[in-house]
Structure 1
Amino acid sequence: MAAEMKRYEKLVHDIAAAIRSGVLASGEKLPSVRQACQDYKLSPATIFRAYYELENMGLIRAQPKSGYYVSNHAVKQLASTNVPAHEPESTAVSISDLVFSILGAIKDPGTVSLGSAFPWPALFPLERLSRSMAHATRGMGAAEIVESLPPGNHGLRRQIARRYLMCGIEADVDSIVITNGASEALNLCLEAMTKPGDLVAIESPAFYGCLQALERLQLKAVEIPVDPVQGLDLDCLQQMLEQRPIKACWCMTSFQNPMGVTMTAERKQALVALLTRHQVPLIEDDVYAELYFGMQEHRPAKAYDDEGYVMHCGSFSKSLAPGYRIGWVLLPQRFKREVERLKVITSLSTSTIAQAAIADFLQHGGYDRHLRKLRVRFEMQQHQYLHLIARYFPADTQVTRPHGGYFLWVALPDHVDTLQLFHQALQQGVSIAPGPIFSARHKYRHCMRINYSQPVDADVEQAFRTLGSLISAM
């Protein structure tokens, strides 16, 4: 049975990868069960189980008396922009009031939170984490508490270093600093590299937490366009590095928030080489790293850092324990002392108990098994949400199709104002994340980010029906 399960899982992943890459196109017919048995040298039961799983994931559909076909999403995929290169302005960031007004408005538990930045909490092993916490803290003494002060719990840092090794990165345990979520890690790195008035290269659109960090530190943003297919515009970044005194670059190279785009390995390598030539540190926000679809994980830009200019920030908040606020940063030696000192000055320590609980879970709790289930769930729900968008939104709507994470970037017709849509939808119990909160210059007014981590039920479908009606009325 174990061997057959492995064959069944491999077939699911192989067909899913062919669909994601476009080798199997929308609407294309899959081999019949009989033909698939001959092609793959597998039993009918194994083929049926694989097709059933692919159908549950939304990747294929069964057509009575005809067979299985690749699902055809009517919604258009957001294509490369091919916009001519332009010279971005350096912008003093003022975004917090807008962000706080929007985040503060969606706290009602009765709201269908399509605009949330957090994954759906019911998908996480909270009960098993509680047992890990009880086990790890039973008999915890003063020595363990002191050990969890910066750089952090040694057992947890050792587990994180092992996960780096799994993706081909040799990480020294002593180069890892545990933080209060990835947000603190990113903020510490940014503060260590800059002083008020400095220029920082960021993505456009960018995660609003990045914009808030620049505003807090009185830094100026140089917005580098993000292509929905290729990722960060490296030509534009090179131009800015040659013309302006940029002190740091903050970006997400995998499953970028909000677009969901992932840079290829070649482009990540080129990004690191470009910044290294200019001796500009890269602050890599990689909080969605573990949420890839299929079997092939995406190596971060840090994997190509031979000279020590990449500070790699991660977190368990998106993949395991949203409320525990455990993040980290893997630091080059040249930056370690300054970032660690800032950590001590700003917050001294990350929760000792939470660190111990996560360390115990990573060692005993079946983290990889949990991740495999979570990835399949997110991929299935992405396809369900794409179907809802195709059903209820205007025909000329365009959407990104990430290969991981849990966000969709939706481009509506140009006349739609998503800030206005946000306020109208909220009155009817639905939240979205409007495009302007992802830009220092409040651009992307016709765009929005949708969180697809919440399982589809009657409330979610009604939320899309409501959004569709409001958009049509505009």
Structure 2
Amino acid sequence: MKGAEYLYLQYADRVEKQIRASVFNTGDKLPSIREVCEHTGYSMSTVTKAYYELESRSLIESRPQSGYYISNILSRKIAVPSPSKPVISTVNVEREDLIDQVYGSMTDKKVTMFSLGFPSNELLPIAKLNKGMIQAMRQLSDSGTGYEQPQGNLNLRREIAKWSVNWGGALTDEDIITTPGCMGAISYCLMALTKPGDTIVMESPAYFGILQLARSLGLFVLELPTNMNTGIELDALKKALSSKKVTLCILMSNFSNPSGNTMPVEHKKEVVRLMEHFNVPLIEDDIYGDLYFGSSRPTSCKAYDESGIVLYCGSVSKTLAPGYRVGWVSPGRFKKQVLRTKLYHTLSSTTITHEVVGSFLKNGRYENHLRKIRQLLHHNSVNYLNTIQEFFPEGTKVSQPQGGFFLWLELDQKIDTADFYRSAMKHDISIAPGRIFTLQDQFSNCMRLSYGLPWSSSLRQSIQTLGMLAGK
């Protein structure tokens, strides 16, 4: 069995060498799976996995009812956005009005919502979730109407603990507290460990929801320089921590929102080492970690945490059921404070939806669903990048994430993406302007696009329209 596992990788590696040696060129059609099986003697499963692996490396792309073709990734000349250079200051700027504008139309069906950060319903197993809901009502003694224990649904916590092996963790159900989504987890952690006037560290750009949450709690946010491939700059982080003014740090370790960056393993280890050295808690938001395009899931900072300094937060809001509000936190040494905060603010999680997700994890449906949605999202990201390269002005810079939902675009300096948003909305297209992802005066010429929508000719047309507006 192990040999068969390696066989598909060996074949994928051979094809990759041919692609890089220009034996195959951009646009060439690859032999069908059946043809490869006939010529090599490999099983259908082996060849299918090999092609899937090549897709995950962005070297080939599938076209429905047509076959597999060489992608243009090697000839792609589009640049990655510049590293951020925020002013090292805790002076914050208000962004609420712009955020209200962008998300005030989120339920408008006629608008193409590139601005949203969760998957379209078409990508979710809604029928299976509905069956799970009915089953949960039958199984729960009170049909899901009663409170559950403050720490959360035991079935769900056990399955999350088992799932932690995928990112290098070794959690038990006692390590986990369930929450109303990942934002609920982060909220509990912030409320438990900070007080008004404290300073917290974040990467820049950062998810606007966390930025606004921090402001609402009276916290000062110190945004640090960030590389759009590898995440927060470690030297800047070390300098900030050594100032002794930082109470807490929040980072997205994998496929960050909005930039899509992923911290390399060595960076994750060094971040944990710095947190332990300076005794500063790290809230790790790993909500997108399961949406990887490669052959294996990236590890998390929590995997290297031996002292309990990392509060690991996750959810299925971006992978399975946004409206179920199912999240969790493994708060390490801070479990007592976080559990008490949950008790005071919500007492109990939503019983029935947490039971449904626990069962979905237990019976293997979650992993089956993830395999499908990862492939769809990867195809989407390639299609987006190709279309942006085709229609956006020369000089446009775009991130090239290896997972998650988002592309981060850097346009010409003369473009203000807040105005660009208003122009796009005249065409019923919504984007997320860059300035909502910072509390400073930066990223005015940047924007975030979500590729969590099913790819179609109309979607391609919408990206073409955005490119036309950017070129005006």
Q: Normalising by the residue count of structure 2, what TM-score does the alignment of the two structures yield?
A: 0.88
User: CA separation in 2, counterparts of 1:26 and 1:75?
Assistant: 18
Q: Whole-Å Cα distance in 1 between the matches of residues 97 and 86 of structure 2? A: 28
5 Å-filtered alignment, 1:24-423, equals 25=20, 29=24, 42-43=41-42, 59-60=59-60, 69-72=70-73, 74=76, 76-78=78-80, 81=83, 88-92=88-92, 94-142=94-142, 148-332=148-332, 334-364=333-363, 366-423=365-422
- Write the distance in 1 (CA, Å) between the matches of 2:101 and 2:346: 26
Distance (Å, rounded) in 1 between the aligned partners of 2:439 and 2:222: 9
**Alpha-carbon distance in structure 2 between the residues aligned to 1:12 and 1:184:** 44
CA pair 93-301 structure 1, distance change in 2 beyond 3 A? farther
Label 1:9 to 1:425 Cα distance change in 2 as closer, same or farther (>3 A).
farther
* 1:93/1:28 CA distance change after superposition, 3 Å: farther
Are the structure 2 counterparts of residues 54 and 356 from structure 1 closer, same or farther at C-alpha, using a change threshold of 3 Å? closer
- What is the CA deviation profile of residues 345-378 of structure 1, one whole-angstrom value per residue up to 9, with x for unaligned ones? 1122221010111111112252111111111111
What secondary structure, in the 3-state scheme, does the structure 2 residue paired with 1:221 have? strand
Could you list the per-position Cα deviations for residues 298-353 of structure 1 after superposition, in whole angstroms to 9, with x for gaps in the alignment? 11000111111100000011111121110000111x31111111111112222101
Q: Report deviation, 1:172.
A: 2.4
Q: How many residues align?
A: 459
> Any idea what SS the aligned residue of 2:323 has?
coil
Q: For residues 28 and 182 of structure 1, do their structure 2 counterparts lie closer, same or farther at Cα, with a shift above 3 Å needed?
A: farther
Query: 3-state SS of the aligned residue for 2:408?
Result: strand
CA contact (8 A) 2:202 2:223 kept: yes
Q: Does the 8 Å CA contact 1:385/1:452 hold for their aligned counterparts?
A: yes
* Separation in structure 2 between the aligned mates of residue 256 and residue 200 of structure 1, nearest angstrom: 18
Label 1:199 to 1:465 Cα distance change in 2 as closer, same or farther (>3 A). same
Cα separation, 1, equivalents of 2:319 and 2:12: 20
**Is the Cα–Cα contact under 8 Å of residues 33 and 47 in structure 1 kept in the other structure?**
no
Task: Give the Å deviation of 1:195.
Answer: 0.5
The one-letter amino acid paired with 1:205 is: P
SS at match of 1:77: coil
Query: Following the alignment from structure 1 to structure 2, what is the Cα–Cα distance between the partners of residues 44 and 129?
Result: 33
CA contact (8 A) 1:157 1:176 kept: yes
CA distance in 2, matches of 1:44, 1:357: 36
8 Å contact 1:93–1:211 — kept in the other structure? no
Unaligned runs of at least 5 residues, structure 2: 63-67
Moved more, 86-95 or 149-158: 86-95
Query: SS of the counterpart of 1:91?
Result: coil
Q: Which runs of 5+ in 1 are unaligned?
A: none
1:463 aligns with 2:462: yes
**TM-aligned CA deviation for residue 59 of structure 1:** 3.1
- Asked whether the 8 Å contact 1:206–1:257 carries over to 2, the reply is yes
Task: After superposition, give the CA deviation of every residue in 1:230-289 in whole Å (9 maximum; x if it has no partner).
Answer: 211110111111224100001101101111010111000000101111100000000001
The share of aligned pairs that are identical, in percent, is 33
Shift of 1:74: 3.7
CA contact (8 A) 1:13 1:295 kept: no
Task: State the 1:419 CA deviation.
Answer: 0.6
Alignment correspondent of 2:65: none
Q: Deviations over 1:117-153 (max 9, x none)?
A: 1111211111101111111220522597667331111
> Are the structure 2 counterparts of residues 166 and 385 from structure 1 closer, same or farther at C-alpha, using a change threshold of 3 Å?
closer
In structure 2, do the counterparts of structure 1 residues 175 and 48 end up closer, same or farther at CA, with 3 Å as the change threshold? closer
Is residue 292–residue 404 contact of structure 1 (8 Å, CA) maintained in 2? yes
- CA RMSD in angstroms, aligned pairs only: 3.3
Structure 1 residues 373, 102: closer, same or farther in 2, change over 3 A?
same
Contact 1:156 1:359 in 2 (8 A): yes
